[in-house]
């Protein structure tokens, strides 16, 4: 059994500053104020729109990321209605195959670290893995998956328009969100605030969440091949 940490992969081009310029162009159609577009007009113009609650214009642009987390967290993410998802399937993925190392991969719950609860969690996952591999001798992956744990690692491609990303962060970065959700959502928000401040700098987050537990946010090419780690 492999134990991994959660992480988020973000294509470099998805955070292109030209996105802000395009949004300004779209929004100015409403007022026929295209002639007022200048070198530094986009950010203040969009900020004013957001302050007034006119967020529909930012739905024209989207950002796609790849989230690697446990199945439990993925179930919460896909509750967001306005989005597109492509997720690693436990129906079709057979973790007994060589391509998966003949074992399952789980995401470590940071809140158990250094406690007896960690040993109990790890033991439970190993029992689940053993049962899963045994069941595969008599059944298909879609049937054997019944015993897989919530901690099972999953890969989830998420696409939201920018308005939905704002909604996602408002919910998932608050102190009432699940700890493992905050673990991935807060560092992702911090990246978005750094690269696209006018769209995300007004969104608050749980500042008491320990930064040492933040998931890695990795900058990639368009195909999620790592090209660098974003330092927040």
Which pTM does this prediction carry?
0.95
User: What is the pLDDT at residue 231?
Assistant: 58
Catalytic residue, chosen from 7, 71, 145, 172, is 172
Q: Name which CATH class applies to 1-17+54-232.
A: alpha beta
Pairing of strands 2-4, 105-107: parallel
Structure confidence at residue 100 as a pLDDT band (50, 70, 90):
very high
Above 70 in pLDDT, residue 70?
yes
Q: Where are the domains of the chain?
A: 1-17+54-232
Mean pLDDT of the chain: 95
52 catalytically annotated: no
Other beta carbons within 10 Å of 40: 7
Tens digits of residue pLDDT in 164-184? 999 999 999 999 999 999 999
pLDDT tier at 232 (50, 70, 90 boundaries)? low
């Amino acid at each position: 059994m492999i134990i991994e940490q959660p992480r988020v992969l973000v294509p470099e081009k998805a955070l292109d500053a030209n996105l802000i310029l395009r949004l300004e162009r779209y929004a100015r159609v409403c007022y026929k104020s295209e002639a007022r577009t200048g070198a530094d007009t986009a950010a203040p113009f969009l900020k004013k729109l957001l302050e007034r609650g006119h967020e529909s214009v930012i739905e024209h642009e989207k950002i796609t990321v790849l989230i690697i987390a446990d199945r439990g967290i993925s179930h919460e993410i896909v509750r967001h209605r306005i989005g597109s998802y492509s997720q690693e399937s436990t129906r079709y993925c057979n973790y007994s195959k060589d391509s998966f190392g003949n074992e399952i991969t789980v995401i470590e719950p940071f809140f158990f670290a250094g406690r007896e609860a960690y040993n109990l969690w790890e033991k439970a996952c190993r029992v689940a893995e053993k049962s899963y591999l045994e069941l595969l001798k008599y059944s298909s992956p879609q049937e054997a998956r019944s015993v897989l744990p919530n901690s099972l690692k999953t890969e989830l491609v998420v696409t939201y328009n920018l308005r939905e990303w704002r909604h996602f962060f408002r919910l998932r970065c608050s102190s009432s969100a699940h700890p493992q959700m905050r673990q991935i959502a807060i560092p992702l928000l911090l990246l978005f605030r750094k690269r696209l401040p006018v769209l995300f700098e007004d969104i608050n987050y749980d500042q008491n969440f320990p930064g040492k537990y933040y998931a890695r946010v990795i900058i990639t090419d368009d195909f999620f091949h790592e090209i660098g780690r974003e330092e927040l």
